[in-house]
Amino acid sequence: MDVYNHTNGSLRDFLWDFRGKVHFVDKWYLMTSPMPILAILLVYLFIVLNVGPKLMKSRPAMNLNKVLVLYNVVQIFVSVFLFSKGFHLMKAHGFLQRPCLQNNEKVMMGVTSGIYYYLTAKISELLDTVFFVLRKKQNQVTFLHVYHHSGMVLYTWFALKYEPTYSVVFLGTVNSFIHIIMYLYYGLSAFPSLAKYLWWKKYITSMQLIQFVLILFHAIANYAYGSCPPSYVLFSMILFNTAFLLLLFFNFYVKSYVKNTSSKTAKKKIT
């Protein structure tokens, strides 16, 4: 059965009707038009960059340890679920999807539902920044952090609405695996008594860098050799966003771990 919408609408139809590529996705919550998701992102940016810091300026940092433990446990389970779903899809159909399954409704329902769950996870992760603001850790609200969180919501929504393709399953699966480890670290860091045991933070950043390299290689291989390669638009979006995040995370890694270690070594020599 063909699951795709077959409409040859005008530009006006595209701008105002917001019909997606798969007919059932348009009926899902937040998927009718981009307006709700844009509103969520605008409110998010307004809170974490403007209202939140102003409200917390004259207030003490909030103790959210119990909330953070619960939040991170939930995120771990969500990430395990997403990783498991993506892993089983790739186990059944391969890394590059051979043969093409775009018109197989059963497979595409699995792919689109997986992307939708991934989107809801990305929306929930916007709370990461809100917690930073409430705990008066505004130094953590960097361009990298805000762009990463808001960008992943926007790009995922676009892919689900206009090109829900098997091509993005690898991306979401690898990212979910990294998030299992990342939220485990964040959950443990909520316990002050465990702080001395959390020496592996920089290795999470290393894993994130490896993740971006793998995603870039997969996107290029899928575009060149896959049975159903993504469109040029989606391919370009994946390349741009992944390469940009790779650059930002690499810059963060160098500043946080390479230069910082060098400066500490130099101070020890001087003293």
- Does the pLDDT at position 103 exceed 50? yes
Per-residue HEC secondary structure of the chain comes to CCCECCCCCCHHHHHHHCCCCECCHHHCCCCCCCHHHHHHHHHHHHHHHHHHHHHHCCCCCCCCHHHHHHHHHHHHHHHHHHHHHHHHHHHHHCCCCCCCCCCCHHHHHHHHHHHHHHHHHHHHCCHHHHHHHHCCCHHHCCHHHHHHHHHHHHHHHHHHHHCCCHHHHHHHHHHHHHHHHHHHHHHHHCCHHHHHHCCCHHHHHHHHHHHHHHHHHHHHHHHHHCCCCCCHHHHHHHHHHHHHHHHHHHHHHHHHHHHHHHHHHHHHHHC
The pTM score is 0.90
pLDDT at 13: 55
pLDDT at 270: 46
User: pLDDT grade, residue 268 (50/70/90)?
Assistant: very low
pLDDT, tens digit (0-9, with 9 covering 90-100), for 38-60: 999 999 999 999 999 999 999 99
When comparing pLDDT for 79 and 107, which is higher? Answer: 79
User: pLDDT grade, residue 198 (50/70/90)?
Assistant: confident
> What is the Cα 245 distance to its own chain's centre?
11
For residues 156-164, give the mean pLDDT. Answer: 95
pLDDT at 196: 77
Q: Exposed/middle/buried for 270, CB within 10 Å: 0-12, 13-18, 19+? A: exposed
> What is the Cα 24 distance to its own chain's centre?
23
Task: For residue 30, count other CB atoms closer than 10 A to its CB.
Answer: 17
Q: For residue 230, what are its two tokens?
A: 């993504």
Q: Which of 166-175, 194-203, 241-250 has the lowest mean pLDDT?
A: 194-203
pLDDT, tens digit (0-9, with 9 covering 90-100), for 124-149: 999 999 999 999 999 999 999 999 99
Residues designated catalytic: 148
pLDDT, the chain, mean: 89
pLDDT, tens digit (0-9, with 9 covering 90-100), for 230-262: 899 999 999 999 999 999 999 999 998 887 665
Distance CA 186, CA 73 (A): 9
The answer to whether residues 238 and 219 touch, using CB atoms and an 8 Å cutoff, is: yes
The answer to whether residues 208 and 85 touch, using CB atoms and an 8 Å cutoff, is: no
